[in-house]
Amino acid sequence: MDLNAVVDSTLALLQSHLGQAGIAVRVEKGVLPAIEGNFNELCTVLTNLLMNARDALATEGNQGIIGITTAKVGGEVMLRVRDNGPGIPAELKERIFDPFYTTKPVGSGTGLGLSIVQGIVRRHQGRIEVESEEGGGVTFAVYLPTLEKRSQTEGGT
């Protein structure tokens, strides 16, 4: 499958919602090789990252911007979501993937989003990286192996 199709499909659902929240969305799609993956699960990954960015930007006074980038990086395809929100304090960074960890008010977050995201990414033999400086926004980058790389590591059956 094509990771760019995940971006198109997810944005088709969420673009107007993000626009109504006053958030500017910038998309940069690279030329990507095929990956093996579950389309709906990868839409869930992007949806969760976008909803987290939206929530982070809701507390900011300045223009909220979300950048979505796809690119081929070595033997992997990358899906990156950036926001210019308040960032994640260093001491909390370890915990954000824990199930039920949330900083949101009771009733507005279950704390399951990133734990679900991490489970999906692992099942795709990928990895997720987070970069954040307090006050400097957050970048989540998901890396998934290309079909070619997967067939090499699986012994080329």
Ligand X SMILES: Nc1ncnc2c1ncn2[C@@H]1O[C@H](COP(=O)(O)OP(=O)(O)OP(=O)(O)O)[C@@H](O)[C@H]1O
Which residues of the shown chain bind ligand X in the complex (CB under 6 A)?
A: 48, 52-53, 56, 83, 85, 88, 96, 101-104, 109-115, 138
Report, in Å, the least distance between residue 2 CB and ligand X: 25
Compute the distance between CA of residue 48 and CA of residue 50 in angstroms, rounded to an integer: 5
Compute the distance between CA of residue 149 and CA of residue 157 in angstroms, rounded to an integer: 12
77 interacts with, out of ligand X, Mg ion, none, CB within 5 to 8 A per kind: none
Nearer Cβ to ligand X (7/138): 138
Nearer Cβ to Mg ion (78/96): 96
Q: How far is CA 118 from the centre of its chain?
A: 10
Range in contact with Mg ion (rule: CB under 5 A) among 37-45, 60-68, 92-100, 106-114: 106-114
Q: How many CB atoms lie within 10 A of CB 82?
A: 19
Q: How many CB atoms lie within 10 A of CB 18?
A: 19
